[in-house]
Chain A
Amino acid sequence: MKLTKDQTKKLGLSIVGFVFLIYVYFTFFLGPLNRSRAIALSKIHDRQSKLDASKEEMSKAAKLEQTARTATERFAALKKLNPEGAPIAWFPPRIKTFFANEQIDKAVARLEGNAALKQDELSGWLKYNWVIDVPQADYAVIGRAIADLENAEPMLCVTRLNIHALPDHPQYQHVELAAANLIEKK
């Protein structure tokens, strides 16, 4: 079959139309549709994995809540050891009362300074350095008082201890304690 010139022209026109149709179909219809479907699928996958992870996360939180109960109670108890307010306001009177109960009339605590702790987990705590001066005490009494202090104040650590016999009263000693106390930042 031999095509005439007119027929060849029409055939070419049809092919051009077909190519145009294919282009428009894939570029403006099927392409965007497939893209939006792919995006929706990836979002579904993402959300589904998040939902699955969330179940694990929530069960982990519930388990941790049970296992960490002791730690939580202990942490709350440790926080309760120190009252509210500026430590300079309550620590010296507390020490004075403590030593008075130990039959030591005079004990003066003064703040030397405070510093942040090295450990990241204790970023909410500060180390307060105190100097406790006991001008006159008997060796046995001060020994017992230090033992009681170390037991009563678990957050207090005596870092330096100086005991000197008093020249005028050899039966008494002058005692100076340097102590570090961990106190939560308020």
Chain B
Amino acid sequence: MALHLNLLHEEILEQRQRQRDPLKIGMLVLIGCGVLMFLYYSWNAYRTLEIKSRLGAIERSWAKVEPKVTAAQKRVSELQGIVKATRTLDDYIENRFFWAPLLQKVSRCVAPNTQLISLEGSVDENKGVTVTLEGIAAGREPRAAAEDLRQLLLEQLSQSYSEVKVEFKSLEDLDTMVNLGGTHTPTARYTLALTFNPAPAPKPAPVAPPARQKKRGDT
């Protein structure tokens, strides 16, 4: 067996030690990691820049659209306000109480022997319409003439309004006699209180016809 003499033993050992230097290896690892991290950072930075450019484009298009959108929103709220206001005004107009038809009905109910002295009426949103009629009735039975007027008013008003009440607040005989159709007749002074809801009375629901007519002889 040949004998090998290593005369460079110390140099080789030093070289190996230099190669295995942990600081050097650490530095190499650090540099490797640093490179990887840089590459990863660069990739992320590229993505971020791309996202930011996208954001810029969207911001620009939003800046173009925003004034239009703001104007549209303003217009929408304005139109909604107009629609609501018009609806409310129309409700107000339609729900007014019209006095002329009432005056016409009253004039039709007043017979020549039941003269009216005054009419006082008012409308309340909650209570409905209240009217006070004051007058003088004449006839052989002046109280009956006043009662006829009350009945007629009740009948006439019930045709157009609901919850109609016509009541005497007062009815008293007067000493005064009046000439009615050439005859002297006694008189009575009456005060009638009319209350009603201006809304027309609901129509009764139609009665459903029987499903089948019962034949003669059916049990």
Identify the A interface with B (CB < 8 A): 3, 7-8, 10-11, 13-15, 17-18, 21, 25, 29-30, 33-34, 36-37, 40-41, 43-44, 47-48, 50-51, 54, 57-58, 60-61, 64-65, 68, 71-72, 74-75, 78, 119, 121-122, 124-125, 139-140, 142-144, 146-147, 150, 154-155, 157-165, 178, 182
Partner of B85, one of A75, A140, A142: A75
Q: How far is the CB of A150 from chain B (nearest CB, A)?
A: 5
Q: How far is the CB of A9 from chain B (nearest CB, A)?
A: 9
Q: How far is the CB of B28 from chain A (nearest CB, A)?
A: 10
- The reply to whether A18 and B51 form a contact with Cβ atoms under 8 Å apart is no
Which chain B residues lie closer than 8 Å to A50 at the CB level? Answer: 62, 69
Partner of B22, one of A11, A58, A157, A165: A11
Q: How far is the CB of A178 from chain B (nearest CB, A)?
A: 8
- The reply to whether B100 and A7 form a contact with Cβ atoms under 8 Å apart is no
Which chain A residues lie closer than 8 Å to B103 at the CB level? Answer: 139, 142-143, 146
Is chain A's binding surface mostly helix, strand, loop or mixed? helix
Q: How far is the CB of B142 from chain A (nearest CB, A)?
A: 18
Which chain B residues lie closer than 8 Å to A143 at the CB level? Answer: 100, 103-104, 107
Interface 0/1 of B67-95, CB less than 8 Å to A: 01100110110011111111111101100
Kindly list 6 other residue pairs between chains A and B, CB separation below 8 angstroms, not including A30-B44, A61-B75, A150-B98: A21-B34, A25-B37, A64-B75, A74-B90, A159-B123, A161-B99
Which chain A residues lie closer than 8 Å to B59 at the CB level? Answer: 43, 47
Determine if B201 is an interface residue (Cβ-Cβ < 8 Å).
no
Q: How far is the CB of B67 from chain A (nearest CB, A)?
A: 11
Which chain B residues lie closer than 8 Å to A162 at the CB level? Answer: 118-121
- The reply to whether A37 and B99 form a contact with Cβ atoms under 8 Å apart is no
Determine if B168 is an interface residue (Cβ-Cβ < 8 Å).
no
Give Cα distance in the complex from A56 to B72, angstroms: 10
